[in-house]
């Protein structure tokens, strides 16, 4: 296999693994937006806190990865519920901009608290994945970390798809997000559905955070990756779960390809702006994203 082809495939695999993180974060963004019409700019910090909880359980409490990971999911769900009950629910009926500012404030608070506890230095995460191990496919060596990240992300996305498609609770959440008044008339508790949306969004972010930390390092500023995932939901559509997932993988892939090829030609910096350039272009053509539903108001 030629070196150029091998380099291209390695770049694509790296982009898809990054995209799997973006897809999970985007899924959380979309779940909250569909339920409450609010963009949660603390989504990245929820990811960071979940990863640090898992890190603490493994390093300081000596738990194995699986129990620590499951406990971190429970912890994240509780944090999501509390955010909804304490900070978001009292703001119902208030301007959306005010709620968005609350999420930005929460992001800053969470980042500062974790920084005070753990410091601001990168720490190695006790990864359960064989970081140095790679598999040989026709002479091409592919990192096991990339394979695990992509595979488990796809499994989680499929589980959420099945949950929303076939479970009674998932269908109730979809109904609450799309038709609140009709859902209330059916006897479904809207407040509980909204709280569940925040809890699930926090869980997806934690999964993304653990994967991201496993592939690199853990640090209190890793929540900024949430802003890097924001173009994914704009590209796919703010109210489309499938669009957010597809947008996540697409943005991750394009970023990596731009970093691998355009950075060399143009002297660097292209990878960081490519996704935003694409989003601006897409928004000019399809303001609601590739899969978002156009909202028409008649007056």
User: Could you give the percent of the chain with pLDDT greater than 90?
Assistant: 34
In degrees and rounded to multiples of 5, residue 30 shows phi and psi of -65, -40
Give residue 211's domain range: 23-223
Domain-embedded: residue 284: no
Domain-embedded: residue 239: no
| Mean pLDDT estimate for the chain | 85
Domain-embedded: residue 273: no
Question: Can you tell me the distance from the alpha carbon of 157 to that of 144, in angstroms, rounded to the nearest whole number?
Answer: 20
Dihedral sign from CA coordinates of 182, 184, 189, 193: positive
Domain-embedded: residue 87: yes
Banded pLDDT at 267 (limits 50, 70, 90): confident
Task: Write down the H helix ranges in the chain.
Answer: 3-36, 43-59, 65-82, 96-118, 144-166, 168-178, 180-185, 190-215, 225-236, 241-257, 263-266, 270-285
Domain-embedded: residue 283: no
Note the pLDDT of residue 138.
64
Neighbours of 164 (CB within 10 A): 18
Banded pLDDT at 209 (limits 50, 70, 90): very high
Q: What is the pTM of this model?
A: 0.88
Looking at residues 187-207, what average pLDDT do you find? 88
Gyration radius of the chain's alpha carbons: 20
Domain-embedded: residue 194: yes
Tokens of 117: 């506890």
Note the pLDDT of residue 240.
81
* Domain total of the chain: 1
Residue 58: pLDDT over 80: yes
Note the pLDDT of residue 299.
46
Cα 136 to chain centroid, rounded: 30
Domain-embedded: residue 133: yes
Note the pLDDT of residue 1.
56
Question: Can you tell me the distance from the alpha carbon of 12 to that of 26, in angstroms, rounded to the nearest whole number?
Answer: 20
Note the pLDDT of residue 162.
85
**Comparison of pLDDT for 205 and 215, the residue scoring more:** 205
Looking at residues 120-149, what average pLDDT do you find? 77
Domain-embedded: residue 289: no
Pair 276, 39: CB distance under 8 Å: no
Per-range mean pLDDT, top range of 37-41, 98-102, 103-107, 232-236 = 103-107
Relative to beta strand 140-143, strand 123-124 is unpaired
């Amino acid at each position: 296999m030629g070196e150029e082809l091998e380099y291209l495939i390695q770049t694509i695999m790296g982009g898809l693994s990054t995209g799997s993180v973006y897809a999970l974060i985007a899924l959380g963004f979309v779940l909250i937006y569909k339920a409450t019409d609010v963009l949660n700019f603390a989504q990245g910090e929820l990811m960071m806190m979940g990863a640090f909880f898992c890190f603490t359980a493994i390093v300081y409490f000596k738990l194995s990865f699986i129990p620590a990971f499951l406990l971190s999911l429970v912890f994240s769900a509780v944090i999501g519920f509390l955010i909804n009950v304490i900070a978001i629910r009292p703001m119902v009926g208030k301007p959306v901009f005010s709620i968005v500012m609350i999420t930005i404030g929460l992001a800053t608070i969470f980042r500062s608290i974790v920084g005070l506890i753990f410091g601001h230095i990168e720490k190695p995460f006790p990864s359960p994945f064989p970081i140095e191990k790679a598999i040989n496919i026709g002479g091409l060596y592919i990192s096991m970390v990339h394979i695990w990240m992509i595979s488990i992300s796809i499994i989680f996305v499929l589980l959420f798809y099945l949950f929303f498609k076939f479970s009674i609770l998932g269908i109730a959440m979809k109904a609450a997000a799309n038709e609140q008044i009709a859902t209330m008339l059916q006897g479904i508790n809207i407040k509980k559905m909204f709280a569940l949306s925040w809890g699930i969004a926090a869980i997806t972010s934690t999964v993304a955070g653990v994967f991201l930390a496993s592939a690199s390092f853990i640090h209190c500023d890793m929540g900024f990756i949430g802003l890097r995932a924001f173009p994914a939901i704009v590209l796919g559509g703010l109210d489309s779960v499938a669009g957010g997932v597809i947008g996540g993988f697409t943005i991750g892939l394009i970023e990596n390809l731009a970093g691998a090829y355009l950075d060399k030609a143009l002297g660097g910096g292209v990878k960081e702006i490519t996704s935003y350039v694409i989003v601006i272009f897409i928004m000019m053509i399809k303001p609601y994203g590739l899969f978002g539903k156009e909202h028409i108001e008649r007056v």
